[in-house]
Chain A
Amino acid sequence: MKARMPMLAAVVLMGAVWVLHTRATQSRESFLPVLRAAKDHGRQAERLAAKAVPVSADEERRGGEAVVARLDGMSREDEGLTALGRRLERTGLAPHFAGRYRYRLLQDSRPLAFSVPGGSIYISEGMVTALAGQQDRLAFVLGHEIGHNELGHLADRVRYAQRFDSWLLPGGDLAQGLRDLAAFSFGPALEFEADSYALRILTLADLRPGAAAETLEAIAGRPAPDPGTHADPADMLVEALRENVGTHPDLEDRLDRIEEDLGRAPAGALSSAPAPGHPVFPPVPSPKP
C-alpha cells in the first residue's frame, strides 16, 4: 500500500487539475501575494501606531484646512451628492465624522474623486458624467472615500505630515508639496480596504454592490485588460516594484478583490442581506480556456 500511495495520490490530484483547469477563474503568476502579505503587516503596525498616538477629528480637520480652502474655491455644494452621502452615513458605518461630512462637486472634466482630512469629499463633474449619473455607482465612489476617512487612512497621513512639520525642512513649495504628498498618497492596500468598506456600506444602504465593478470599469474607460496567465520573472519584478511606488492597484486586481468579496460572501456576511430584486453580483463569467 505504501508503495502505491504516491500513484494513488497522483490520480486524485489529476482530478484537482481537471477541476482547476475547467472551472477556476483566471489565476496568474505574481510576487504580489507575498508582497501584500508583508505590507498588510506594515498596515497593522500603522494601526497600532494610531492606537498609541491617535489623531482626533479636530486635528484631522485642521490638517486639511489649507487644502479645503483652495478646493472650495473650485467646487460647489451639490444637493444630490449630499443626500446620497447622508444616506450612506445613516447605515451607521460612518461614525467618525457622522453628520459632518461635506460633499462637494468639483468643476473638472476629468473623472476625479478624493477626500481631504476632516471629512471633505470631492467628486468631479467628469466623474459624474463617466458614471452616467447612476446613483449606486456614485454611492460606491462616495462610500470608497468615506472608507478612507473611517478606516483612518487620512488620519495616518495627517500624522505623517505632522512628522514632516517637526523635522528640519525648508519652507516653501517643497515642504508644502511633501506635506500634500504625505496627506494624499495612499497605497494599493488602502485602496483595497476602501473598496471593501464601500461594498459593505452599499449593502447596508440597500444599494447594489454589483455597481462596484461597473464603476471601476467606467472610470477606466475600458474593460479590464487580460493580464495573461503566465508572466516573465522580469515582469513579475517590475509589477512588485510598481506596487511599492504606485498609489492605486491595477484595475484587474481591484475587480478580482471585489468579485472575491461578493462572490464568496454568504448572505448576510456583508452586514446585511441585499434587498430583494438586487442580486449580490452578476453571474461569474466562466473561466477562459
Chain B
Amino acid sequence: MEERKKNKLEELLEGFSAAFLGALRQGGMERFIGEKLLNYVGMLLVVLSGAFFLKYTAGMLGPVGKLAISLAAGVAVVGLGEYLGREERYSLFRLPLVGGGWIVIYYTAFAAHYVEATRIIESPTVGLAVLCVAAAGMIAHSLRIRSRILTGFAFALAYLAFIVTHLGVQSLTVCTVLALAGAVLVRPLASPELAAINLAGFYLNYFPIFRGVLSASGAQGLPAADFWYSLGMATLVHAVFAVLVPPKPGRAPAAGEPPTPPSPDDYWMDLSLSLSAVVYAAVFYGQTSAYQPLHGAAGLLALGGMLTALSALRGKGDGGSALQHVQAFLGAAVTALAVFQLDGMAERYWGFALAASVLGTLGLWLDRRSFERYALAFMGLGLLHHWGCMGSLPAESRLTAVLSLGYLGAAGYALAGLRQRVGRAATWISGVWLYGGLAAILAALWLQFQPAAFAVSVFVLALILEWAAMEAGAEPLRQQAVLLEAAAGLYCFCIDYGSNLPVLGPVTPRLLVTASAVVTYGAALACCRRPEGVFLGVAGSDWRRSSAWFAAGIAAFGAYNEFGPRLRLPLWGLGALALLLLGRRREEEGLGVAAADFRLQAYLLVLATAAEGVLSYLVYPASLLGTLGARETAIFWCSSLILAAPVFWPAWAKTPAEEAEERSARYVFAALSLILPALFIAKEADGAWITLGWTLLGMGYLLPGLFSGRTPLRLPGLALLGVCVLKALFRDLTGLALPHRVLSYGVLGVLLVLSSFLYVRLTKKEECHES
C-alpha cells in the first residue's frame, strides 16, 4: 500500500524533534551534565552571590559606590574569563565567566536608573540608552569571540532587560534595531536559534503595545502615529526575517537523484519563522480590527498582499520551507477577512474576484498549487457571498456585481485555458476553474436579466461553448455546452411571461424564447460534434439526441400557451409534419443522429393533436374562443390539406420494418388531416349542418383516394362517411316529421348505394392495374 505523503507541517515537526533529540543523543547525557550544566549553574550562583553582596553593602555605600563596585566586579569577571580562555585547558570556563560578568554589568546598567537605592540616572531615556550600550557591548564581545551560545544569550538578555524597563514605542524602536541586527547575523553565524530568540524577544516587547491597543481606551488612547509606527516596526521585522533568514531554494536535484533533505538548522528556522508569521498576522489583525473598520480592511489587504508576496519570493514550485506555505495560507486568510470587512457589497464582489484572479495567475506562473487552491477558495467565497446577498442587493450595486461576476467567470475560463496551454489541464483544478467560471457567468446573467432574456442568454452561452469546443478541441467545453442546453431547456418550462405583449412586430417574448431554443438545439444537432464517451452517466450521443426532445417539447409547449385552442391544432399538426420530414434523414452525423427521435416525436405529436382537438377545441366554450376570422379559417384548412402530404411523398423505407412504419405514418397523417377539419366543422357549425359538412369532407377524401388509388386517403374518408350515416340516422333525422324522414332516408340510401358502386368500380380498376 502506498505510504501517505506527509504534509509540510508534519515534515517540519518531525525534522525538528529529530534534530533536537539527535543533538542530545550525540553528546550523551552524562557529558552534557558534566561539561555544560554544572558550569552554567555554578556561574549563575556566583552572579547571584554578587547581587546579594550588593544588597548587603547597600546600607554602607552610596549609589555611586554601589554601582562602581558592581561594574568593577562585572568587568573583572569578564576579564577573568578572557584570560582563562587563552589556555586550552581552561577554555571551558571562558563562556560562563564572560556571560556571568556581562550579567553583572547588565544589572549595573539597569540599577543605575531602575533601582531606587542605586539611582544615579533620572531620565528614563538615558536609562534606556545605558541599557542599549550594555547590550551592544555584550553582543559585540560575543561576536568577537565567535560564540554562538553567548551571542544568543546576549540577545536574550537584552530583550529581557527591555521588557522589564518598557518605555512604549522607544523600547520598541530599540527592539526593532536589535531584531534587525539579529536577522542579519542568523545566516553568517549559522545560528538558527538566534532567529527564534530575536522573534520571541521582539514580540514579547511588542505585547504591552498590543495590549494597550486592544484595551477599551486603546485605539482612542494611543496616538495614531504611534499606532501605525508600532505596526510598521512589526511589519519591518517580519519582512526582513522572511527575506533574509529562510534558506534559499537549492539546486533542483537531477533526474534520478533523491532531493537533498533539509538540515536540522533549517527545521529550527522554518518552525521559528512560521510561528512568527502566525503571531505577526494575529497581531496585525487584532490591532487593525480594533481601529477604524475601513483602515482595518485596507490594512488587512496590505498585510495579505505582503504575506503572499513574501511567499511568492521563495520562487517556483511547491517544495521548500514551511514558512512559504504558512505565509501563503496566512496571506489568503487575511485577505479573505479583509474583503469580508469591506463596507460596500460592490467592493466585496470585486475583492473576491480580484483576489481569485491574482492568486490564480500567481499560482500558475510560480507553479504553486497552494496559490491555485486559495484562488479557487476565493472564487467559491465570491459565489457564496453572491448567493447570500443577491436577495438584498441594492439597485445601484447591481451593475458592479454583474461586472465583477463576469470578470470572475472570464478569469476562470482564462486560467483553465492557460493551464491547458502549459500542460497542466489534467487535474481537478482545471475542472473547478471551468465550472466555477461557468457558475459565475450564469450568476451574472441571472442578476442582470429577467427570466426570458436570461434563458436566451444561456442559449447564447451554450452556442459559444460549442463553437469554442470545436475550435479548441476541448472536450470539457463541449460537456459544459450540453449541460447548459439541458438546463436551459428545463428552465424554459418554468418561465411565466406575464402579459407577454409583443416586442418585435407580432412576435412575443414567449415566441422569441421558443425560437431561440429551437435555433440553438438545431445548430447543436446539425453542426456540432457529440460529447465523447460518457458524461454524468449519459452517453455522448444521448446528450446530443436530447437536444431534439428539448426542441420539440419547448416548441410544443410554447405553441400551447401562445395560441388559443383554434390555432394550436394546425400548428401542432404542421410541427408533426416537419418532424416527420426531419426523421427521414439518414446521415450518421448532424440531424441524422436524431432521425428516429424525430419520427417518434412526429407520431406522438399527431396523437397529442388529435387528443387536444377533442379536449381543448371541441368542448371549449365558444364564448371564449372569439370570432372566427378568415385568416384563422384559411390557416386551419390549408394546414389540414398540407398534413396529407406524406401520402404523396416518395418512398423512403429501405427495410421491411421501415416500410411498415412508413405505411402507418401515411395513414396517421391522412387521418389527422381529416380529423382537424372535421373538428372545425363540428365546432363552428350546428346540428344537421355538421352532418352535411362531414359528408362533403368525407367525399372529398374518398373520391381522390379512389381515383388516385391511395388507400390512406380512402379509408379515413370512408370512416367519416360512416359516422355521418350513424349521426344522420340516430340523431339528425329522429326529430323530423314523417314525410321529411321518408325523403331524407331515401336520399341518404341512394347516396350510399351510389358511393358503394363507385367504390367497387374504382377499386377493381386499381386491382387490375396492380396485377
Which residues in A have some Cβ–Cβ distance to B below 8 Å? 2-7, 9-10, 12-14, 16-17, 19-21, 23-34, 37, 40-41, 44-45, 47-48, 51, 93, 150-152, 193, 196-197, 200, 229-230, 236, 252-253, 255-257, 259-260, 263-265, 268-271, 284, 287
Contact = CB atoms under 8 A, between A and B. Distances in A.
A230 B620 CA distance: 34
B399 to A, nearest CB: 10
Contacts of B498: 25-28, 252, 256, 259-260
Contacts, number: 183
B452 A24 contact: yes
Interface stretch (B188-196, B337-345, B500-508): B500-508
Give the one of B499, B501, B515, B524 with max A CB within 10 A: B499
A264 B508 contact: yes
Contact of A34 (B459, B494, B509): B494
Nearest to A10: B463
B503 A20 contact: yes
Interface string B456-488: 110110011011001100000000000000000
B499 A260 contact: yes
B495 interface: yes
Interface in B500-547: 500-504, 508-509, 512-513, 515-516, 519-520, 523-524, 526-528
B44 to A, nearest CB: 72
B225 interface: no
B interface majority secondary structure? helix
A251 B509 CA distance: 21
Contacts of A284: 499, 501
A37 B515 CA distance: 20
A34 B493 contact: yes
Give the one of A9, A24, A32, A230 with max B CB within 10 A: A24
Given A6-B523, A26-B450, A27-B509, 14 more contacts: A5-B526, A10-B467, A13-B456, A20-B512, A23-B504, A27-B452, A28-B495, A28-B496, A29-B496, A47-B620, A229-B450, A259-B499, A264-B508, A268-B627
B726 interface: no
Contacts of B451: 27-29, 229-230
Contact of A6 (B470, B494, B516): B470
B239 to A, nearest CB: 47
Give the one of B471, B560, B561, B621 with max A CB within 10 A: B621
B615 A7 contact: no
B293 to A, nearest CB: 31
B contact residues, range: 35 or more
A197 B463 contact: no
B623 interface: yes
Nearest to A284: B501
B53 to A, nearest CB: 83
Nearest to A265: B626
A93 B621 CA distance: 11
Contacts of A270: 626
A17 B519 contact: no
B605 to A, nearest CB: 15
B207 interface: no
B497 interface: yes
A145 to B, nearest CB: 14
Give the one of A20, A196, A229 with max B CB within 10 A: A20
Contact of B452 (A13, A20, A51): A20
Contacts of B500: 25, 256, 260, 264
A32 B496 contact: yes
Contacts of A47: 619-621
B623 A150 contact: yes
Contacts of B504: 19, 23
B637 interface: no
19 contacts: A7-B464, A10-B467, A13-B519, A16-B515, A16-B516, A21-B450, A24-B450, A25-B498, A25-B500, A25-B501, A30-B496, A41-B615, A193-B621, A230-B446, A256-B499, A257-B499, A259-B499, A265-B626, A287-B450
A31 B494 CA distance: 5
A48 B501 contact: no
A93 B453 CA distance: 40
Contacts of B557: 33, 37
A21 B499 CA distance: 15
A197 B624 contact: yes
A33 B496 contact: yes
Interface string B549-568: 00000000100110000000
B519 A9 contact: yes
Nearest to B457: A17
A80 B128 CA distance: 104
A216 B629 CA distance: 31
Nearest to A150: B623
A6 B449 contact: no
A6 B463 contact: yes
Nearest to B502: A264
B755 interface: no
Given A24-B509, A229-B450, A260-B501, A13 B494 contact: no
B624 A10 contact: no
A249 to B, nearest CB: 11
Contact of A263 (B501, B560, B627): B501
Nearest to A194: B624
B235 interface: no
Contacts of A24: 450, 452-453, 497, 501, 503, 509
A9 B620 contact: no
Give the one of A16, A197, A253, A255 with max B CB within 10 A: A16
A43 to B, nearest CB: 9
B626 A269 contact: yes
A151 B624 CA distance: 9
A7 B524 CA distance: 11
A21 B291 CA distance: 45
Contacts of B400: none
Contact of B453 (A2, A20, A40, A252): A20
Contacts of B493: 33-34
Give the one of A17, A44, A48 with max B CB within 10 A: A17
B453 A9 contact: no
Nearest to A204: B623
B616 interface: yes
B621 A151 contact: yes
A2 B623 CA distance: 50
Contacts of B499: 25, 255-257, 259-260, 263, 284
